[in-house]
């Protein structure tokens, strides 16, 4: 399977498509290339080979095909590579164009001559337009209407990591009736902000419990010392010291427990977002668990995702302990946290129809080629 991102903005959607394909067939071999020279900061599936796109020469493309032997190529965007696509089509590769926008093939600003573009578009067996305007533009470029399908954009979501079942059940059994919130992957500075905020939260709800997950490589003992110095009652997962009715802060054993905490916590403050050098965590992962999302001002790597979530009411930016405490207290109302979580879920679910369709198309083609079960 070959996935090619015509624009860097398409990489995350193709990453998620690769995850869905591997869910359906764990033996699949997927290779991903990108038109952009920028390396995507988004996490790719472990079984996906991210490689350089072949040069625009018949020899280079054929060498690429000889190595990977893809049966299907899914391209996104309007920056088409005519030699690459022609050689692939001549080799019997099934060709699919997805995420086609109205601006991709406008007469002005073509990178290719219009007649070349028309010929290249004929190589695709299926073309998926994001909207009516995109479909009309493809039709004006000579694509027959019956070959154009309206399915919207590809889904740009994040794979849900598995949560350790035993840990989830152990924590859940001790947390019934408690108001929970999570500070995820926090730095030492962010832990201090979260602990200060939690003291304010407990003034409104004395049964509130903060789950504190250290960022990768951070010693949890530092968090224990800070919490204890603040006079908070702390339990630590490292000693299998589960929280009880008197515990005010639970410091997770390690970063590996994060997924279990996402599953348990209705409200999450996402760390790696307040320090000056911070770049943010992927918000789509906790959104997939139905969490209401809070974050700091420094999320440059995932800025587009946070902006979309914030604009649609699926996340809220905070700047200090006071605003964090106020927002956590407000979100402790189940109706409010559910409202925010639903808004985030709707965003990460956009494009599911096209993603599902492509998964079915690819697997059906694979079966037709004689895939062994």
User: What is the CB-side half-sphere exposure of residue 16 using CA atoms within 13 A?
Assistant: 23
3-state secondary structure of 42: coil
- On whether the pTM is more than 0.85, the answer is no
Do 213 and 331 lie in one domain? The reply is: yes
**Mean pLDDT to the nearest integer, 39-45:** 48
Q: Is 313 exposed, middle or buried (0-12, 13-18, 19+ CB in 10 A)?
A: middle
Kindly state whether residues 136 and 71 are assigned to the same domain: yes
Does residue 341 lie in a domain region? Answer: yes
SS3 at position 123: coil
Q: Are residues 209 and 293 in the same domain?
A: yes
Is residue 315 a part of any domain in this protein? yes
Average pLDDT, the chain: 89
In a domain, 373, yes or no: no
Q: Are residues 137 and 268 in the same domain?
A: no
Q: What pLDDT digit, counting tens, does each position of 232-249 carry?
A: 999 886 656 778 888 999
> Do 194 and 133 share a domain, yes or no?
no
pLDDT at 163 over 70: no
- Mark whether 84 and 113 lie in a shared domain: yes
Q: Is the pLDDT of residue 109 over 70?
A: no
pLDDT value, residue 278: 92
**Quick one: 65 and 26 in the same domain?**
yes
- Do 344 and 355 belong together in one domain? no
When pLDDT is averaged across residues 133-142 and rounded to a whole number, the result is 92
CATH code, domain carrying 7: 3.40.50.2000
pLDDT of 41 reads: 44
Tell me: the pLDDT tens digits for 188-228?
Answer: 999 999 999 999 999 999 989 999 999 988 888 899 999 99
- Same domain? For 222 and 81 the reply is no
Q: Are residues 259 and 311 in the same domain?
A: yes
Q: Residue 362's domain spans which residues?
A: 2-156+350-368
> Based on the domain organization, do 130 and 267 belong to the same domain?
no
144 and 183 part of one domain: no
Is residue 312 pLDDT above 80, yes or no?
A: yes
- Reported as a pLDDT band with limits 50, 70 and 90, residue 331 is very high
Find the mean pLDDT for residues 320-333: 96
Instruction: Return the pLDDT at 117.
Output: 87
How many domains does the chain fold into?
Answer: 2
> Which value, to the nearest 10 degrees, does the dihedral of the CA atoms of residues 246, 249, 255, 258 take?
70
What average pLDDT does this structure show over 106-121?
70
Q: Is residue 133 part of a domain?
A: yes
What is the maximum span of the chain, computed from C-alpha positions, in angstroms?
A: 73
Please report whether residue 269 resides in a domain. yes
Q: What is the mean pLDDT of residues 277-305?
A: 94
221 within a domain of the structure (yes/no): yes
């Amino acid at each position: 399977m070959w996935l090619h991102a015509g624009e860097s903005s398409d990489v995350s959607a193709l990453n998620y498509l690769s995850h869905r394909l591997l869910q359906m067939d764990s033996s699949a071999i997927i290779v991903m290339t990108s038109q952009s020279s920028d390396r995507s900061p988004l996490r790719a599936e472990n079984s996906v080979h991210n490689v350089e796109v072949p040069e625009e020469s018949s020899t280079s493309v054929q060498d690429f095909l000889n190595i990977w032997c893809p049966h299907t190529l899914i391209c996104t965007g309007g920056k088409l590579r005519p030699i690459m696509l022609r050689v692939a089509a001549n080799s019997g590769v099934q060709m699919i164009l997805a995420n086609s926008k109205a601006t991709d093939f406008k007469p002005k600003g073509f990178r290719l001559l219009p007649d070349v573009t028309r010929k290249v578009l004929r190589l695709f067996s299926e073309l998926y337009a994001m909207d009516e305007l995109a479909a009309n533009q493809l039709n004006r470029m000579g694509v027959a209407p019956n070959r154009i399908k309206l399915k919207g954009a590809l889904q740009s979501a994040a794979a849900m990591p598995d949560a350790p079942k035993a840990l989830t059940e152990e924590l859940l059994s001790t947390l019934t009736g408690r108001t929970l919130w999570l500070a995820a992957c926090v730095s030492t500075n962010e832990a201090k902000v979260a602990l200060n905020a939690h003291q304010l939260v407990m003034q409104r709800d004395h049964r509130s419990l903060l789950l504190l997950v250290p960022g990768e490589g951070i010693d949890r003992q530092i968090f224990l010392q800070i919490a204890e110095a603040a006079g908070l009652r702390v339990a630590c997962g490292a000693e299998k010291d589960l929280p009880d009715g008197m515990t005010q802060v639970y410091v997770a054993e390690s970063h590996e427990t994060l997924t279990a905490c996402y599953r348990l916590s209705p409200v999450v403050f996402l760390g790696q977002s307040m320090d000056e050098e911070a770049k943010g965590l992927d918000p789509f992962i906790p959104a997939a668990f139905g969490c209401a999302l809070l974050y700091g001002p420094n999320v440059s790597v995932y800025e587009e995702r946070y902006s979309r979530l914030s604009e649609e009411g699926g996340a809220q930016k905070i700047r200090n302990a006071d605003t964090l405490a106020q927002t956590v207290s407000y979100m402790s109302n189940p109706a409010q946290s559910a409202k925010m979580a639903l808004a985030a879920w709707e965003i990460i679910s956009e494009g599911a129809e096209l993603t599902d369709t492509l998964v079915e198309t690819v697997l059906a083609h694979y079966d037709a080629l004689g895939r062994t079960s």
